[in-house]
Amino acid sequence: MITTTLPPHEEMLRAFLARDASYEGIFVTAVRTTGIFCRPTCTARRPHPEHVEFYASPHDALFAGYRPCQRCVPLEAAGTPPAWLQPILDAVEGDPARRWRDADLVALGVSPERARRWFQAHHGMTFHAYCRARRLGTALRRLGEGERVTETAFDQGWESLSAFNDAFRKLFREAPRQAARSAVSLVARRLLTPLGPMVACATNEALSLLEFADRRMLERQLRRVCGRLHAVPTPGSNPVLDATADELERYFSGALRTFTVPVAQPGSAFQQTVWARLCEIPCGTTTTYGDIARGMGMPNHARAVARAVGDNAIGIIVPCHRVVGSDGSLTGYGGGLWRKRRLLDHEAGVRALALGA
């Protein structure tokens, strides 16, 4: 349940011609001469601009008489793994300790180079690096639960204890036992939303990061969170991330207005106060930086509040999108102003339905 607000035509045309991935989930492009609609990032040959029109969703394009492109598959959620890759992802999740080789991929009918490119684009690492990080994350958790190093090493697919120790030192900069005592277990997972994929990181206790995957500041935010937590994120899931995925799905369907997932992102006392104030803004309403500053008893610190809001690393759940300019205009948002508008329109619609019920 996302309100269909579109950017200006010229902006969408520029994004489509440039295959701008930041507009995934914002619009689909329909071509009058072919009767087909595509994602903004479709790799098909670009049509003449006069033959193009835009829709806010595949649903709208279908009802306008267009059929989905078979190359970019716009009916699937942005960031959905392609069909050829899904059996491999299922196998990795079913046996995280498995040590994969190129021959294993070939046996499943997948080119190792094709798998490498997809994982590099969607996870920032190769397929083999992803599997290795997955195994190391599992090993770290098991060591933290008191399991012996030797037993953990062989159970997680290492052929020798020295190779296991080397892999641990390379990623965590400590030997396995020392890392298990000092490191925070931080698990990372990609979550699909109607506005594009997001990256979520959480400890076993709380959510520490939730950002759109195409945000330019994502890498910096991730380094900041990991540095302050003394943690290295490893692919996987835990109950906090499962709860986050569930609540986001209910939020976007209009069934949830208040999040209950525990959050704990590191920051100064001032930042923590500002982020707590953000969580007090009711769904379907907005406030300003000045209002937050005055509510904190610091009326002359609106700019400092704006900086703290910009440093928020937990999007949507810590709702920095609900802060607007003093004149009501949209101001900067790390996920993009169009996403901010879509989120605010969505929440206004949900609130209107609740008040009319």
Residues serving a catalytic function are 320
Q: How far apart are CA 236 and CA 213, in angstroms?
A: 16
Helix, coil or strand: residue 209: strand
Q: Select from 229, 253, 192, 196 the least CA-distant residue to 313.
A: 229
Alpha-carbon dihedral sign for residues 99, 104, 108, 112: positive
Name the helix (H) or strand (E) containing 211. strand 207-212
CB-CB contact of 349 with 3 (8 Å): yes
| Contacts made by residues 333-336, CB under 8 angstroms, sequence distance 24+ | 334/211, 334/212, 334/215, 334/216, 334/217, 334/310, 335/195, 335/211, 335/212, 335/215, 336/22, 336/212
CB-CB contact of 220 with 122 (8 Å): no
Name the helix (H) or strand (E) containing 246. helix 239-253
Phi, psi values for residue 114, rounded to 5°: -65, -40
Q: How far apart are CA 251 and CA 149, in angstroms?
A: 42
* Residues present in the chain in total: 357
Q: Compute CA distances 187 → 3, 202, 207, 238, 279, whole Å.
A: 32, 5, 10, 7, 24
Q: How far apart are CA 211 and CA 222, in angstroms?
A: 9
